[in-house]
Structure 1
Amino acid sequence: MTALTLDVDDARLYYELRGSGPLVVLAGAPMDADSFAPLADLLATDHTVLTTDPRGINRSPLDNPDQDSTPALRAGDLAALIKQVGAGPAIAFGSSGGAVSVLALAQHHPDAVSTVIAHEPPLLHLLDDRAEQFALSAELRATYLAGDRVGAWRKFLALSNLQMPPEVFEAVFTGEQEAQAAADERFFFTHEMGLSVSWQPDLGALRNGPVHIVVGIGDASADQLCERTSTALATGLSVTPTRFPGGHTGFVEDPAAFEPVLRAVLTGR
């Protein structure tokens, strides 16, 4: 693995490269490069794999720490990284907020990618009950900004319909945080989450554009919010969703099970 940085107009982007072969980008938001490292190692046997910390997170500082992280800005960052590596057009896999980023990449920088794989993007505009979902999302962010971190995460899990055993929740969300983790979390709630869930894709442009779009859904994500948004996206794009092992973060929980399905998509099998 080679760790590098790229200066853009308003940030310094940290990224990592592994392997050799066709270029694959693995993108999250707010997940950073570390979250994708095990999956990247598996793919790097026959691909060049680019992972990155998204703007404002961990090792990718902004010139203005109070600047918002929009999907369009993150898409521009990914396009700049692909150009820097010089091995495009790439195949870009994004999960959650990163799935929003790669959809924006396909929409705004179609020359940079041949295929994007959007795994469970939380696009609330696509839902029939969008007004209720937007209100709940705004409420949980307000709860966090009012100083109730635990309450905000309880509302986040409830909105997403994600289940977490009480003892795991206590261990993850009630203990002492490292300074960087706390800063990244605050940036997510303050400057990133709301702009990701409120992004409106141009379904016509994506459907009729040159970039092949794959919509991914975890096979353990039944009845969760991101299954609903991803199903709505697939319907809007007239594509059949691809089922991946695990849930919303299946690529983290069991990368060895996730990798063969992703590899099949990468090679068109």
Structure 2
Amino acid sequence: MSPATTVTADHLKVPDATLYYEVRGRGPLVVLVGAPMHAAHFAPLADLLADDHTVLTTDPRGVNRSSLDEPGQDSTPQKRADDLSRLLTHLDAGPAAVFGSSGGAVTALALAVAHPEQVRTVIAHEPPLNRLLDDPEKRDVAVEDIIATYVSGDWAKFMINANIPMPESEEPAGGPAEAPAEPDPQEAADERFWFLHEMRATTRWEPDIAALRAGPGSVVVGIGEESAGQLCDHASTALAAALGTRPTYFPGGHIAFADDPAGFAPRLREVLRENEVPRESRATTP
């Protein structure tokens, strides 16, 4: 981001919530969205894109600076998509290119289904879509077990169920694993909101493939080069197959946009550039 670029931060009242959002840069509009990740996680990437894009980032409802009127409400992809639609309308912006990662990819897909006129391109980076995989009911049970284990505080079992490797120094030696050090209170609240109020509805959301294929915007399915064999790799591959496309690969893993924004930005720019022309105007391959 150039020194002259400024970040405008504000709030927007929407049904049942108040959304925090940031706008920076100039040029074609790109929205960066996550769930449970929020605007701060996308800020370094947004700064890199701001030289030639107007970048909108936001905290999803119930997370960080976006508050709920009634705490404890569930956050569904449909509600989060409606929030994005209202933000775009409020800013008189769009159609937009929307990069969503993880739960944010599900949000972006839901926006393309519900409000196709506001979407130019959706880049769905590793959406956790259990409904596109074999034995979705079994996977639902696994999600419920992950949530229950998180609530119980059984960190060893939680790490195993969530497929997160524990460092050797933290492996239990005949006794229960110790919980990690106390996180920042806001981070702990955001984490708890994900497990109790976002994860279930996000992983169970089923995309309307026909609507995504028929909409005016492009749908690009992104997979991290280091995500091979993971659940989101399988789900993303299944989504691309259902759409009749091939996955687009990005450097790094599931959250590479936050872990290495400088390495991630060039590939994202390339994909954005390739999809700037409306789909109906592009040459098609026989």
Q: TM-score, normalised by structure 1?
A: 0.93
Give the counterpart letter for 2:66 in structure 1: S
2:96 partner amino acid: A
**1:113 has 2:119 as partner:** yes
Between the aligned partners of 1:210 and 1:169, the Cα distance in structure 2 is 50
What's the CA shift string for 1:13-63, capped at 9, x where partnerless?
001111011110000000010110110000000100001100000000000
Candidates 4, 8, 12, aligned match of 1:2? 8
- Aligned: 1:231 with 2:252: no
User: Which residue of 1 is the match for residue 279 of structure 2?
Assistant: none
1:144 is displaced (CA, Å) by 1.8
Partner Cα distance (2:116, 2:58) in 1 = 20
Report the CA distance between 1:147 and its aligned residue: 3.7
Secondary structure of residue in 2 paired with 1:91: strand
Kept in 2, the 8 Å contact 1:150–1:174? The answer is no
**196-205 or 206-215, which deviates more:** 206-215
In 1: Cα distance, 2:113 partner to 2:171 partner: 37
Deviations 1:231-251 (A, max 9, x none): 000000001110000000111
Amino acid corresponding to residue 230 of structure 1 in structure 2: S
**Match 2:86 to one of 80, 83, 97:** 80
Q: Which amino acid in 1 is paired with 2:210? A: G
Amino acid paired to 1:180: Q
Question: In the alignment, what sits opposite 2:206?
Answer: 200
Provide the aligned C-alpha RMSD in A: 1.9
- Between stretches 129-138 and 86-95, larger displacement belongs to 129-138
2:264 and 2:167 mapped to 1: Cα distance? 23
Q: In structure 1, what is the Cα distance between the partners aligned to 2:156 and 2:11?
A: 34
SS at match of 1:184: helix
Q: Which among 154, 157, 175 is matched to residue 148 of structure 1?
A: 154
- Which of 192, 217, 223 lines up with 1:217 in the alignment? 223
Partner of 1:61: 67
Cα separation, 2, equivalents of 1:166 and 1:21: 47
2:216 paired with 1:180? no
For the structure 1 residues 242 and 32, does the alpha-carbon distance in structure 2 shift closer, same or farther, using more than 3 Å as the test? same
Distance 1:22 1:221 in 2: 30
Distance 1:256 1:63, change over 3 A: same
Counterpart-to-counterpart distance in 2, 1:154 and 1:60: 31
* Amino acid in the other structure paired with 2:8: T
Contact 1:22 1:87 in 2 (8 A): no
CA distance 1:88–1:5, shift in 2 (3 Å) = same
Write the deviation string for residues 181-218 of structure 1: whole angstroms up to 9, x where unpaired. Answer: 11111111111001000000011111122221000000
Gapped runs of 5+ residues in structure 1? none
Partners of 2:96 and 2:169 lie apart in 1 by 41
Deviations 1:43-96 (Å, cap 9, x if unpaired)?
A: 000100001100000000000111110000000011111112222111000000
- Per-residue Cα deviation, 1:82-126 (whole angstroms, up to 9, x for no partner): 112222111000000000000000000111111100000000010
Relative to its length, the structure with more helix (as a share) is: 1
Partner of residue 18, structure 1: 24
| Greater Cα offset, 146-155 or 47-56 | 146-155
Divergent runs of 4+, >6 A: none
Counterpart secondary structure, 1:261: helix
Aligned partner of 2:252 in structure 1 is 246
The reply to whether residue 28 of structure 1 matches residue 11 of structure 2 is no
The answer to whether the Cα contact below 8 Å between 1:218 and 1:245 also exists between their aligned partners in 2 is yes
The residue that corresponds to 2:196 in the other structure is: 190
1:21 counterpart SS class: coil
| Structure 2: distance between partners of 1:124 and 1:212 | 22
- Percent of aligned pairs with the same residue? 57
Deviation, 1:3, is 1.1
Residue 168 of structure 1 deviates from its aligned partner by: 8.4
Q: Is the partner of 1:115 in helix, strand or coil? A: strand
| AA of the residue aligned to 1:245 | P
